[in-house]
A and B are shown apart, each in its own frame.
Chain A
Amino acid sequence: MSASQQTPDNVYLQVRNVTKTFGHFVALADISLDMYRGEFICFLGPSGCGKTTLLRIIAGLEEQNTGQIIQNGVDISRFPPARRDFGIVFQSYALFPNLTAAKNIAYGLEQSKLSRQDIQERVQQLLNLVGLPDSGHKYPAQLSGGQQQRIALARALALSPGLLLLDEPLSALDAKVRASLRTEMTSLHQRLGITSIMVTHDQAEALTMADRVVVMDHGRIVQVGTSQEIYHHPATPFVANFVGVMNFMQATVTDQAGTVYWGSLPLALNHHVAQWPAGSSLTLAIRPEDVRVADAAAGAPSVALAHIEQTEFLGPTYRLHLRIPANGNGHHDVSLLADIPAQQAHHAALQAARMVPIQLPSEAIRVFAPEA
């Protein structure tokens, strides 16, 4: 992944306080965001979070209620799409069905003052770039989904735009093609260095492709960060749950020393919890792959004997559905998921209905402050 310099003078695109409503529905609520030259940004979020609306406002295909878009130092808020500098790939690709792949790519070039021969050369160059050197004469209906997507990408790049917008470009493809195109698009981005924004609801796509991920929900930006930051340090329970799989634990602070109980299980935390009074309720979170099969005996902090209710084979790992029984005192049973490497699971003969000691390492537990 190309790391672009995140310095103020390297900002390429600025979104400033953009608000967009459809009737009384608020699609975007006061969004601000800086994007740097050469960056690959993903807008990630569930459907209806406003990610596509934001992309369309950047392209000028929607008019925002308030706010500005500044591209390369120029305020383009009032520019119609035709005056803006971007190429776009839609989910449907929107390839002109009656024109060949080559004519589709040449469509915008024919507007320019290039000679016929220059256009032909440029089209061939683009066809080579997307790995379809011999498909220029074919009509879109004669191309596979993945090939159509590449032609749409070549068309978007034809005029060498400063900004590439991708609206769920991979979601219409089947899983295998999607995975290979992911890699191809990333390497293409590295070669061209064009500032790119991709809208997606697929967290795996965002994590693998983006330099920075912008997680959105309900028309707001919830977190901006690298894939690692988003995955390992989610800012809110929403992000934690949306990106990857997460166990949430409703825990209670029991004394001034900061001991925290999840059900009847005492947990050791790296986090300093003394700031919260006894009796406050915290949301803790741990990824299934961070849950370990323990060596130590039960009774130590963060170690418990869990009942395996069900196992799921996921290939490289087994997912265990665990229940930790309460030891009286009005506590409830608690349950969580744990991903154990397949080899270890075989070795330890982890099967349903067995009991297994597990440990929740303190460094892997995320603490979310109690909601006010």
Chain B
Amino acid sequence: MASTTTSSSAAPTVPDAVIKQRVRQSVTTEDWLIRGLIVLAGLWLLVIIFLPLYSIIYRSLTDKAGNLIWFANYATYFQNPALYGSLYNSIFIATVSTIISVLIGFLFSYAVTRTAMVGKPIFRRIVMLPLYMPSLIHAIALIYLFGNQGFVTKGFFGYFRENWGFDPSFDIGLYGPIGIIIGEVLFCFPQAIIILIVALSLTDARLYEASTALRASRIRTFFTVTVPSIKYGLISAAFVCFTLAFTDFGIPKVVGGDFNVLATDIYKQVIGQQNFQMGATVSILLLVPTVIAFAVDRIVQRRQMSLVNARAVPLHPQPNPLLDGVMLLFCMIITLIVLAMLGTAIFASLVNVWPYDFTLTLKHYDFGRVGGGGFNAYWNSVRMSAYTAVFGTVILFFSAYLIEKGKQLQWTRSIIYFISILPVALPGMVIGLAYIFFFNQPSWDMAGLTIPNPFNVLYGTMTILVIANIVHYYTVPFLTATTALKQMDPEFESVSASMSVPFYKTFWRVTLPVCLPAVLEIAMYYFVSAMVTVSAVIFLYAPSLKLASVAVVNMDDAGDTAAAAAMSVFIIVTSIGVRVLYELVTWGITRQTQAWKKR
């Protein structure tokens, strides 16, 4: 037999001095250009994220006159039960909502990925509808169903009593924790589904075949193969839902009654009492748990190892009549609830006087009769969303490109990467308030010097609204862009360099066209998010620059719930319309520029 003499010698070693040495290539104009752009990207993030955050933290440590009083505001907060009760309330609401949302999300995702039930594509589409709705619309629909004059509360207005002889009227006690939790669950579970469908789709059928071949039961396979493979997805989904429910403003505002949470407290402190210091203090309390959740999630995700490689075999679920039937029923109930919410809001916006006169009318769409800004506000929102989509996408994709493909300034790029994924942990209210503090400051006094704030001119403009939206929704599209760029062959840049083609030409001719689907996806995400957002912009809009989503809050506040529902319907129709437009455009573009995908 041939012996196994293989290696000629052990691995070589070199002196430490050599390890530190490097034959540096001369720096070209192109290198300087890339470095300059990276620094620019860093400065941009510094101004739009770091400095405003510093401002709000600093403000929470000062008194009304601006003197540094360290943690006195926090001491005041925790000595006042009326204030710290909200912290407890928020944690309670977020925890319960997270558990229910992840549970529903998991069952639904499992049903549409791992069972052989019918109608999976339809269910997937319907359950994503809430992403195009302002979170408020759930609250408004809940009021029409379960509120004091609600369908259910009033026993379907006597219909059953008159025709069937019994009264099913039932008051769930909507205003307070129950209403908020139902609303938050409706708002959060589609987000959990997005994450969990991805986690459940990334699997290898061979693992299941192996498990079956080893005669493991279905239950055992579920706990030894399925659960470990989606563990990280479940953790991520839980953190996303917790952050959303913990920081949401719209739902508690509308159905919270006198049940206070942190987000509504900030609003009351700032708008009601003009107590900016306490607003900043509560904001930090809102920020701390989300940042902790973010940090834990990052640490946990880092331990994740991919179970799926290029040779993975896709899983084709086998029919199982009992499981398929139960899951079908479950999915039908969930999608019916989603549709009922949307349907109720649309119906309510179309009837004369709920609940007394159900004749159909379009009068609630005549926003001139009510406050809130009407069609102007709507068009402002459309403009703001369009700007956010255009500028957000351009800035974000280019900076993701620099971080992913630029070979210069490695440390700076790592820091920029971290700052770019941080905004997911920043609640919209915190961003809004931080922006007030930072951009409204006319000048800074530093060591006796007065430095004028060059960004002060942005205060109260459309620009600041657009920037706030870009920051608020930075993380998800940033990760989309990074993923798309990572899928590009890393040797594209090497090949271009070998032909002396500058990087910007390759970016323009290859990187951008190949990533176009991701770019359009990002633009669409930005548009829809900016249309429905309330929290980031409620502190920032100027009286002359009202917004549709804020108008919904204000109309509801003023008792014009039907008009608020009508405005919500407008927002939803616009968002879904843009989605349809996006599908058409990508379909057209795919046919033209992505012709290479076809064989």
**Interface, chain A (partner B; CB < 8 A):** 19, 21, 23-26, 29-30, 59-61, 63-68, 77-84, 86-88, 90, 92, 94, 96-99, 107-108, 111, 139-142, 155-156, 158-159, 161, 217-220, 222, 236-239, 241-242, 245-250, 283, 321, 335-337
Q: Chain B residues with Cβ under 8 A from A155's Cβ?
A: 495, 499
**Which of A63, A140, A220 touches B12 (beta carbons < 8 Å)?**
A220
User: With A19-B18, A21-B18, A156-B498 known to touch, is A250 a contact of B3 (CB < 8 Å)?
Assistant: yes
The answer to whether A107 and B499 touch across the interface, beta carbons within 8 angstroms, is yes
What are 11 residue pairs bridging A and B, where the CB atoms are less than 8 Å apart in the complex?
A26-B12, A59-B498, A60-B25, A63-B22, A66-B21, A80-B31, A111-B499, A239-B8, A248-B3, A321-B1, A336-B1
Of A111, A161, A222, most buried by chain B (CB within 10 Å of CB) is A111
Say which one of B90-98, B506-514, B538-546 lies at the interface with A. B506-514
The answer to whether B14 and A108 touch across the interface, beta carbons within 8 angstroms, is no
The answer to whether A140 and B498 touch across the interface, beta carbons within 8 angstroms, is no
The size bracket of the interface on B is 35 or more
Given contacts A19-B18, A26-B12, 9 further A-B contacts (CB under 8 A): A64-B22, A65-B18, A79-B26, A81-B498, A141-B599, A142-B598, A242-B6, A248-B5, A337-B2
The answer to whether A78 and B25 touch across the interface, beta carbons within 8 angstroms, is yes
B539 smallest CB distance to A (angstroms): 44
A138 smallest CB distance to B (angstroms): 9
A205 smallest CB distance to B (angstroms): 20
Q: Chain B residues with Cβ under 8 A from A250's Cβ?
A: 3
Q: Which of B13-47 contact A (CB under 8 A)?
A: 13-14, 18-19, 21-26, 28, 30-31
Q: Chain A residues with Cβ under 8 A from B445's Cβ?
A: none
**Which of B3, B19, B514, B595 touches A24 (beta carbons < 8 Å)?**
B19
Smallest CB-CB A-B distances: 10 pairs = A108-B499, A248-B3, A139-B596, A94-B491, A238-B8, A29-B12, A81-B497, A237-B5, A335-B1, A82-B500
Q: Chain B residues with Cβ under 8 A from A337's Cβ?
A: 1-2
The answer to whether A107 and B501 touch across the interface, beta carbons within 8 angstroms, is yes
The answer to whether B21 and A86 touch across the interface, beta carbons within 8 angstroms, is no
CA distance A158 to B3 in the complex (A): 47
The answer to whether B8 and A236 touch across the interface, beta carbons within 8 angstroms, is yes
Flag whether B217 is at the interface (Cβ < 8 A). Answer: no
Flag whether B275 is at the interface (Cβ < 8 A). Answer: no
Q: Chain A residues with Cβ under 8 A from B513's Cβ?
A: 98
CA distance A293 to B491 in the complex (A): 53
A283 smallest CB distance to B (angstroms): 7
User: With A99-B509, A111-B499 known to touch, is A218 a contact of B19 (CB < 8 Å)?
Assistant: no
**Which of B6, B594, B595 touches A238 (beta carbons < 8 Å)?**
B6
CA distance A10 to B495 in the complex (A): 28
CA distance A77 to B26 in the complex (A): 9
Q: Chain A residues with Cβ under 8 A from B492's Cβ?
A: 94, 96
Of A61, A246, A283, most buried by chain B (CB within 10 Å of CB) is A61
CA distance A222 to B19 in the complex (A): 23
Q: Chain A residues with Cβ under 8 A from B496's Cβ?
A: 107
Q: Please name the residue on chain B nearest to A80 by beta carbon.
A: B25
**Which of A90, A139, A156 touches B595 (beta carbons < 8 Å)?**
A139
**Which of A78, A92, A141, A219 touches B489 (beta carbons < 8 Å)?**
A92
The answer to whether B494 and A64 touch across the interface, beta carbons within 8 angstroms, is no
User: With A63-B23, A78-B23, A241-B5 known to touch, is A219 a contact of B12 (CB < 8 Å)?
Assistant: yes
CA distance A236 to B5 in the complex (A): 10
**Which of A78, A108, A219, A283 touches B500 (beta carbons < 8 Å)?**
A108
Q: Please name the residue on chain B nearest to A143 by beta carbon.
A: B599
The answer to whether B2 and A336 touch across the interface, beta carbons within 8 angstroms, is yes
Flag whether B11 is at the interface (Cβ < 8 A). Answer: yes
The answer to whether A94 and B1 touch across the interface, beta carbons within 8 angstroms, is no
CA distance A25 to B19 in the complex (A): 9
Flag whether B593 is at the interface (Cβ < 8 A). Answer: yes
The answer to whether B25 and A79 touch across the interface, beta carbons within 8 angstroms, is yes
The answer to whether B8 and A97 touch across the interface, beta carbons within 8 angstroms, is no
The answer to whether B597 and A90 touch across the interface, beta carbons within 8 angstroms, is no
CA distance A248 to B1 in the complex (A): 8
Q: Chain B residues with Cβ under 8 A from A237's Cβ?
A: 5-6, 8
CA distance A90 to B492 in the complex (A): 10
Q: Chain B residues with Cβ under 8 A from A63's Cβ?
A: 22-25
User: With A79-B25, A248-B5 known to touch, is A90 a contact of B598 (CB < 8 Å)?
Assistant: no
CA distance A48 to B510 in the complex (A): 31
A139 smallest CB distance to B (angstroms): 4
The answer to whether B494 and A61 touch across the interface, beta carbons within 8 angstroms, is yes
The answer to whether A21 and B1 touch across the interface, beta carbons within 8 angstroms, is no
Q: Chain B residues with Cβ under 8 A from A19's Cβ?
A: 14, 18
Q: Chain A residues with Cβ under 8 A from B4's Cβ?
A: 241
Flag whether B7 is at the interface (Cβ < 8 A). Answer: yes
B508 smallest CB distance to A (angstroms): 12
User: With A107-B499, A241-B6, A248-B3 known to touch, is A77 a contact of B23 (CB < 8 Å)?
Assistant: yes
Q: Chain A residues with Cβ under 8 A from B67's Cβ?
A: none
Q: Chain B residues with Cβ under 8 A from A59's Cβ?
A: 494, 498
Q: Chain B residues with Cβ under 8 A from A220's Cβ?
A: 8-9, 12
Flag whether B329 is at the interface (Cβ < 8 A). Answer: no
Flag whether B214 is at the interface (Cβ < 8 A). Answer: no
B101 smallest CB distance to A (angstroms): 39
User: With A218-B9, A238-B8 known to touch, is A82 a contact of B593 (CB < 8 Å)?
Assistant: no
Q: Please name the residue on chain B nearest to A110 by beta carbon.
A: B501
The answer to whether B594 and A98 touch across the interface, beta carbons within 8 angstroms, is yes
The answer to whether A218 and B498 touch across the interface, beta carbons within 8 angstroms, is no
Q: Chain B residues with Cβ under 8 A from A141's Cβ?
A: 596-599
Flag whether B10 is at the interface (Cβ < 8 A). Answer: yes
Q: Chain B residues with Cβ under 8 A from A111's Cβ?
A: 499-501
Q: Chain B residues with Cβ under 8 A from A65's Cβ?
A: 14, 18-19, 21-23
The answer to whether B596 and A159 touch across the interface, beta carbons within 8 angstroms, is no
Q: Chain B residues with Cβ under 8 A from A26's Cβ?
A: 11-14
A319 smallest CB distance to B (angstroms): 11
Q: Which of B382-406 contact A (CB under 8 A)?
A: none
Q: Chain B residues with Cβ under 8 A from A23's Cβ?
A: 19
Q: Please name the residue on chain B nearest to A109 by beta carbon.
A: B499
A236 smallest CB distance to B (angstroms): 5
Q: Please name the residue on chain B nearest to A322 by beta carbon.
A: B1
Q: Chain A residues with Cβ under 8 A from B509's Cβ?
A: 96, 99, 107
B490 smallest CB distance to A (angstroms): 8
**Which of B2, B7, B9 touches A246 (beta carbons < 8 Å)?**
B2
Of A21, A139, A219, most buried by chain B (CB within 10 Å of CB) is A21
CA distance A90 to B489 in the complex (A): 10
B525 smallest CB distance to A (angstroms): 23
B8 smallest CB distance to A (angstroms): 4
Q: Chain A residues with Cβ under 8 A from B597's Cβ?
A: 97, 141
CA distance A220 to B9 in the complex (A): 10
CA distance A230 to B363 in the complex (A): 91
